[in-house]
Amino acid sequence: MNTDILSNLTKNTNPQCPSGVDDSDGPQWDFPLLAAIFALLGLGLVMLYSASAVMASQRMEDHYVLLAGQVENIIIGVFVLLTALQIDYRWYRRMVYPLLGLTVLLLVLVTIPEIGRMEHGARRWLDLGFLGFQPAELAKLTAVIFLAYSIGKKGKRMGSFTIGFIPHLLIIGALVGLLMLQPDFGTAVMLVSLMFILLFVSGAKLSYLFLVGIAGSVAGYFAISGSEYRMRRILAFLDPWSHRQDIGYQISESLIAIGSAGLGGQGLGEGAGKLGHVPELWNDFIGTIIAEELGILGMVIVVTLFLVILWRGYRIAFNATDAFGMYLAFGITSTFALQAMANLLVVTGMLPTKGLTLPFVSFGGTSLIVGLFSVGILLNISRNEPDWWAMKREEREAQREQKKWAKKRRKILHRRDDLHP
């Protein structure tokens, strides 16, 4: 029998703490999580400058231009992290449908030629002037918030096909359909994967997951085979050396750069990939220059930092005091895990190129800012503070009861006065 895995792990076992919050656990902020995030940000800045300085100097006559842009993104991201840290995460439960509506609107707008910006054959960006905004990044967070809200509300009914499965399939399917119009196949696969992970841990029947998984695989096959560009990517993945001069150029050069690194790498700033051999080295393929210049040890450091994020994120989920916080923390952490794994597998030739950045390391505005906002949500959940919204409800109920009692008391007093004038 498939059971609600997370719910079983998060049952309160401390009789001295009925609310499930144990103040003896230490500080309210999860400092190891925050330390791992800022270590990745710092490493990202160093490797971004190493990867982009030559290109920026040649094309823009300023080798600091991408570094300066990333510093601005981090400043904005830290601001939104601190903002999210102060917002009770339960507020997103109340705003889930407005967030869904806003996300759908942005995904529709980005497909309109007069509004969406075309880059590399895809229309994925809204130009906000000071920032290019990518609605797909918001879609990942919105999907997690919706799934956490819906799964937490349904509880034991998640075993039902019509209640626990179909609504999630329809909503996530609609988001996936809009992403495919851009097209953004990588993010679409991410959303489907997140849905399956959260449905599995929430108690959805394995038979339903299996059947829909087969249907999704068939749909994915036709989506790939029906697109010449995606088929070329698959061919490049299967045999990059035969396509080294065209579609397989990026991955084959990445493999050459990584293969020449060794244990300690070529040395910081000494890599040859940034001389124009590996395109998008500061973005999707920043893992390549980390491996080339810092070697296997550098990649071990990166993987270790992401493992720390996974450990702390899942720990926050297991210690959450309510179902919504539990699934929200689990979904956000799984998003980081899936994206980091996909990116590193791509640069090492173990997955076809998908266009997914390495969280907190790659150059990017929207992905970095939304990622740091998500970290702020995780940190807010880790504080295990009382439910402010529930307190407000309890206060309102108490006031209603007080008014009812006052009204009843007045009636009793009036009746007594009538009987004993």
Q: Mean pLDDT throughout 259-268?
A: 80
How confident is residue 12, by pLDDT bands cut at 50, 70 and 90?
A: very low
Look at residue 386 in the predicted model and tell me its pLDDT: 74
Looking at residue 11, its pLDDT comes to 44
pLDDT score recorded for residue 184: 84
Which of 149, 216, 208 is CA-nearest to residue 176?
216
What tokens appear for 8 in the block?
A: 């079983």
**Best mean pLDDT range from 59-63, 203-207, 340-344, 361-365:** 340-344
Of the listed ranges 23-27, 59-63, 116-120, 218-222, the least confidently predicted one is 23-27
- Say what the pLDDT of residue 222 is: 76
Q: For residue 195, what pLDDT is reported? A: 93
Please report which confidence band the pLDDT of residue 18 belongs to, taking 50, 70 and 90 as the band edges.
Answer: very low
Check whether 13 has a pLDDT greater than 50: no
**Alpha carbon distances (Å) from 202 to 86, 151, 258, 318, 328:** 28, 7, 40, 13, 12
d(CA 196, CA 204): 9
Q: What's the pLDDT at 155? A: 78
Residue 396: the pLDDT is: 64
pLDDT of res. 40: 96
Task: Give me 205's structure tokens.
Answer: 């029947």
Tens of pLDDT, residue by residue over 276-317, are 666 677 778 888 889 888 988 999 999 999 999 999 999 999
Burial 194-212 (b: 16+ CB within 10 A, else e): bbbbbbebbbbbeebbeeb
In Å, how far from its chain's centre is CA 263? Answer: 31
pLDDT at residue 4, as a whole number? 52
Considering only residues 354 and 339, tell me which one the structure prediction assigns the higher pLDDT.
Answer: 339
User: Which pLDDT score, from 0 to 100, does residue 41 have?
Assistant: 96
Task: Name the pLDDT band for 327 (thresholds 50, 70, 90).
Answer: very high
Distance CA 359, CA 349 (A): 19
Over the chain, what is the mean pLDDT?
81
Residue 412 is predicted with a pLDDT of: 66
pLDDT of residue 354: 74
Report the C-alpha gap between 36 and 107 in whole angstroms. 32
> What mean pLDDT comes out for the span 183-198?
90
- 357 three-class SS: coil
Of residues 334 and 236, more confidence is placed in 334
Which stretches within 87-165 are classed as H helix? 91-94, 96-109, 135-154, 161-164
Band (pLDDT 50/70/90 cuts) for residue 2 is very low
CA dihedral 147, 153, 155, 160 (to 10 degrees): -70
The arithmetic mean of pLDDT across residues 113-137, rounded, is: 77
Q: What integer is the mean pLDDT of 337-353?
A: 87
Average pLDDT over residues 364-389: 88
Residue 9: the pLDDT is 43
- 59-66: list long-range contacts, CB under 8 Å, 24+ apart: 66/282, 66/363
The pLDDT value given to residue 74: 94
| Winning range, highest mean pLDDT, from 119-123, 158-162, 326-330 | 326-330
One DSSP character per residue, 197-256 reads HHHHHHT--HHHHHHHHHHHHHHHHHHHHT-HHHHHHHHHHH-GGGGTTTTTHHHHHHHH
For 386, residues 6+ apart whose C-beta sits below 8 A from its C-beta are: 19, 21
Neighbour count for residue 188 (Cβ, 10 Å): 23
- Provide mean pLDDT across the span 156-169: 82
Q: Could you tell me the pLDDT band of residue 111, with boundaries at 50, 70 and 90?
A: confident
Give the residue among 250, 251, 243, 167 at the shortest CA–CA distance from 204: 167
Cβ contact 216:169 at 8 Å: no
Q: Which sign, positive or negative, has the C-alpha torsion 312, 315, 316, 317? A: positive
Q: How many CB atoms lie within 10 A of CB 381?
A: 26
Residue 183: the pLDDT is 83
What is the identity of the amino acid at 217? S
* Domain extents in the chain: 5-9+26-385, 390-421
Could you tell me what percent of the chain has a pLDDT over 70?
A: 81
* Residue 8 pLDDT > 80: no
DSSP 273-323: GGGTTSTTTTTTTHHHHHHHHHHHHHHHHHHHHHHHHHHHHHHHHHH-SSH
- Per-residue pLDDT tens for 26-67? 446 789 999 999 999 999 999 998 888 777 777 776 778 888
Q: What is the pLDDT of residue 71?
A: 93
125: which strand partners?
Answer: 117
